[in-house]
Amino acid sequence: MTWAEFLPLIFLAVMGLSLLAYVVLDGYDLGVGLLLPLASESQKDTMIASIGPFWDANETWLVLGVGVLLVAFPFAHGLVLQALYLPVAIMLIGLILRGVAFDFRVKAPLQFKGFWNNAFFAGSLLASSAQGWMLGSYITAFQPGPLGLAFSLGIAITLPAAYILLGAGWLIMKTDGELQLRAVFWARRVLWPMGVALVAISAATPLVNPAVVDKWFGVPEVFALLPVPLSCAIAFFAVRWVVTHPEVVKAGYGWVVFVSTVLIFVLAFFGLSYSIYPDIVIGRMTVWEAAIGTEALTVIFIGVAITLPVIIVYTVFMYRVFWGKARDLTYN
Amino acid sequence: MDALILSRIQFAANISFHILFPTITIAMCWFLLFFRLRFIKTRDPAWEEAYYFWTKVFALTFALGVVSGIVMSFQFGTNWPGFMEKTGNIAGPLLGYEVLTAFFLEASFLGIMLFGRGRVSERVHLAATFLVAFGTTMSAFWILSLNSWLQTPAGYEIVNGQFFATDWLAVVFNPSFPYRFAHKLLASALTASFLIAGLCAWQLIKGSATAGTHKAMRTALVTAALVIPVQFVAGDLHGLNTLEHQPAKVAAMEGIWETQKGAPLTLFGIPDEKAGETHYAIKIPKLASLILAHDLDAEIQGINDFKGAHPPVAPVFWSFRVMVGTGTLMMAVAWFAAWQLWRQRKQMADGKIHLPKPLLYVLAGMTFSGWVATLSGWYVTEIGRQPFMVYGLLRTSEIATDIAPPMIALTLTAYLIVYGLLLVTYIGVLKYMAENPFKHAPIPGGNAALGKAGV
């Protein structure tokens, strides 16, 4: 493989990993937003305090992911985003509402706090459902028709559920006392519906996208890939074990919920990537067809190679600064 | 209406809404750094108060900038697919560098800047404030470099309708970039200054001023008075540059229809594109030639020289007058206020500002004057480069989407409703915060916890 052929693959990896980072990182704060209406007033403040320092940087991964799609694969960018025109707009309006609600809910006069709490929830719901919808229509290669529609609808419901589990896992780590107990309860409630929905989606994927069948169910692929669903199942039952045993959470193993959920996301991501590769728009455009010129890619590559490690270092630094249980933030 | 015009309105709505907030935050963060440095130097709690109050305003403004900015990154794909397909080799790296060197920096260190007090040392906290300020300025650097390249393309070649860079230095530092960058940074400084001075004036009127109010207000007024003449010089230089590279834009700004030597300056009038003349024009002989080319008899090209390749005249003509008019008003007010401060410098030993009531009302009324000037300035330059996307080379109509117009109308309506709601809330919240500053004062004794985290 030449450098010119290899370079687009690097950017595919950067884009994919950015979107994975986005889904996991913004996933937990969207999940916290989805859980907000279930909490008491003071718990709402703690919940928002637990994600306050992070959400902005989390969303920047989306900008990077879409940015790489935009700058490295402009031919796919237009195709994908035009096909997803409406869900993109819905997601953006959702992200706007919740992004401003962080500040408005505490800075506006008190009588508007309820409104902005609702806006925070509504924004989180719009954004996460729209993302699910986008993922669904992407996997079905934007085919209209009832099957594709049902599939997209399924993911539009499943992704928020997965975010809720992630958000609950985050709250179990970052809070204590009553709120932590409630987070455990929320995780327990959402676990089975999410698990069933994930299995259903995995089973339906070959139906909506027949090309996947050969990749997964050929021999020896099926054996080589067996660890993927197995690990998912182990992660799922690890979560289940923790949330059904409150004493485990008390003993300090609450992080298992979050980490296992992240593992499920990571495995699902790699499963999906494997199914699609080397297409970037399924069945229509490969990664090489979508990429811009080698020379421009090289210019960006130099920037990525220098800045991305630095970004990762200071992201880790930021998480270290805010490590431990969430304290009250002077958000107002 | 077709997809092109709807997409243009939507893009204009999104970017107009977006630019309101970076225009404030780019400069305001440097103000915050200054407040912080003054506090560390003097240990005067008034500076600390100023820092924390304006940090809250900054955080709110920044959040609005972030969320409206995310919309921008999707717009290109949803409504302007041809843009990146044709200019991707040049626009891509510039946008990429903006995300990599600016967005993450601001977003990550903003958390530490806002909430890190008590978790990091004073020095790390100061560094975080600096990095956020640096990040916002870097962001302006890259995005204005791209915008300027679209206006005055350089360092490229065209192969099969696609642009390729041949000289990256020439691309980044293209002919209009230094002027546009300076003009924008100064505009930001003025917008932030008038916002700070205006809200402080409101606090003085309402009796909700704190010790920090006086510090912030003096800083803002002195900055405004110093920056505004520089802005006029920068604007003039930018105009010369525009005349050289985009004469059609200048012709529209000035309402000059026929190419002529010793062109008069039209102060006011009603440009009529169909008739090809400006009705009821009030003109000053030869002044346009003098201002634009610094020569009384210089030849200025008229709009009629650019058949099919000039912008709509009236919006450019009017926006330009609004910008210059607002700027002039800002200069008068800033200088008058600075003169008042200078006069009472002896009485200000207590650090309190005593400006006349009418002046306070004028300042409060001009809180958002920077927005008016900034937006009208952008309308001049952006409408003024139409009908081109890449000046002289690629037309806006060639890159638009073919999405069904009703769909675009739907999303446009949704954006407008959301933006309207946010704008009203933003201004209302700023007013509320100004009137209730103690809700936002630093926690007493909070500083003692600084440095305990040992990072």
CATH number of the domain residue A95 falls in: 1.20.1630
Alpha carbon of A130: minimum distance to chain B alpha carbons (Å) = 14
- Residues in chain B with CB shorter than 8 Å from the CB of A54 are 111
CA distance readout (Å), B71 to A305, B10, B136, B402: 26, 11, 18, 19
Pick the residue of B7, B48, B73, B158 with the most A CBs within 10 A to test the interface with A by mutation.
Answer: B73
Say if the Cβ atoms of A75 and B422 lie within 8 Å: no
Tens-place pLDDT, residues B264-294: 888 888 888 888 888 888 888 888 888 888 8
Say if the Cβ atoms of B81 and A78 lie within 8 Å: yes
- Residues in chain B with CB shorter than 8 Å from the CB of A89 are 78, 411, 414-415
Q: 3-class secondary structure for chain B?
A: CCHHHHHHHHHHHHHHHHHHHHHHHHHHHHHHHHHHHHHHHHCCHHHHHHHHHHHHHHHHHHHHHHHHHHHHHHHHHHHCHHHHHHHHHHHHHHHHHHHHHHHHHHHHHHHHHHHCECCECHHHHHHHHHHHHHHHHHHHHHHHHHHHHHHCCCCEEEECCEEEECCHHHHHCCCCHHHHHHHHHHHHHHHHHHHHHHHHHHHHHHCCCCHHHHHHHHHHHHHHHHHHHHHHHHHHHHHHHHHHHCHHHHHHHHCCCCCEECCCEEEEEEEECCCCEEEEEEEECCHHHHHHHCCCCCEECCHHHCCCCCCCHHHHHHHHHHHHHHHHHHHHHHHHHHHHHHHCCCHHHHCCCCCCHHHHHHHHHCCCHHHHHHHHHHHHHHHCCCCEEECCCEEHHHCCCCCCHHHHHHHHHHHHHHHHHHHHHHHHHHHHHHHCHHHHCCCCCHHHHCCCCCC
A215 or B206: which leads in pLDDT = B206
Q: Which of A97, A210, A225, A120 is nearest to A167 (CA)?
A: A120
Domain encompassing residue A64: 8-321
The closest CB to that of A292, out of B68, B92, B100, belongs to B92
Alpha carbon of A255: minimum distance to chain B alpha carbons (Å) = 22
- Residue pair A45/A326 in contact by the 8 Å Cβ criterion: no
Count of domains observed in chain A = 1
Residue B259 CB-density burial (10 A; 0-12 exposed, 13-18 middle, 19+ buried): middle
- Residues in chain B with CB shorter than 8 Å from the CB of A77 are 76-77, 81, 84
- Quick one: pLDDT at residue A77? 83
- Residues in chain A with CB shorter than 8 Å from the CB of B422 are 96, 100
Which residues 7-66 of A have a C-beta within 8 angstroms of B?
Answer: 52-54, 56-57, 59-60, 62-64, 66
Which residues 120-139 of A have a C-beta within 8 angstroms of B?
Answer: none
Say if the Cβ atoms of B407 and A57 lie within 8 Å: no
In a domain, residue A332? The reply is no
Say if the Cβ atoms of A296 and B422 lie within 8 Å: no
The closest CB to that of A63, out of B70, B81, B93, belongs to B70
Pick the residue of B104, B119, B407 with the most A CBs within 10 A to test the interface with A by mutation.
Answer: B104
In a domain, residue A330? The reply is no
- Quick one: pLDDT at residue A71? 82
Say if the Cβ atoms of B120 and A321 lie within 8 Å: yes
In a domain, residue A15? The reply is yes
- Residue pair B388/B394 in contact by the 8 Å Cβ criterion: yes
Pick the residue of A19, A63, A285, A294 with the most B CBs within 10 A to test the interface with B by mutation.
Answer: A63
Tens-place pLDDT, residues B428-448: 999 998 888 865 444 443 333
Average pLDDT over chain B, rounded to whole?
A: 87
Alpha carbon of B419: minimum distance to chain A alpha carbons (Å) = 9
The closest CB to that of B104, out of A60, A85, A299, belongs to A60
B283 strand-pairing partners:
B266
d(CA A100, CA B70): 13
The ipTM of this complex is: 0.83
pTM of the model: 0.88
Q: pLDDT truncated to tens, each residue of chain A (332 aa)?
A: 788 888 889 889 988 888 899 999 999 999 999 999 998 888 888 888 888 888 888 888 888 888 888 888 888 888 888 888 899 999 999 999 998 998 888 888 888 888 999 999 999 999 999 999 998 888 888 887 888 888 889 889 999 999 999 999 999 888 888 888 888 889 888 888 988 988 888 888 887 777 777 777 777 878 888 888 888 889 888 888 888 888 888 888 888 888 988 998 898 888 888 888 888 888 788 888 888 888 888 888 888 888 888 888 888 888 888 887 776 555 44
Alpha carbon of B440: minimum distance to chain A alpha carbons (Å) = 6
B438 or B316: which leads in pLDDT = B316
The closest CB to that of A307, out of B100, B107, B415, belongs to B100
Say if the Cβ atoms of A330 and B407 lie within 8 Å: no
d(CA B347, CA B366): 26
The domains of chain B are located at: 3-244+312-448
- Residues in chain B with CB shorter than 8 Å from the CB of A123 are none
Residue B62 CA, chain-centre distance (Å), reads 14
- Quick one: pLDDT at residue A328? 59
Tens-place pLDDT, residues B32-65: 999 999 998 998 888 988 998 899 899 899 989 9
Please count the residue pairs, one from chain A and one from chain B, whose beta carbons lie less than 8 angstroms apart.
212
Q: Which of B73, B337, B28, B33 is nearest to B187 (CA)?
A: B28
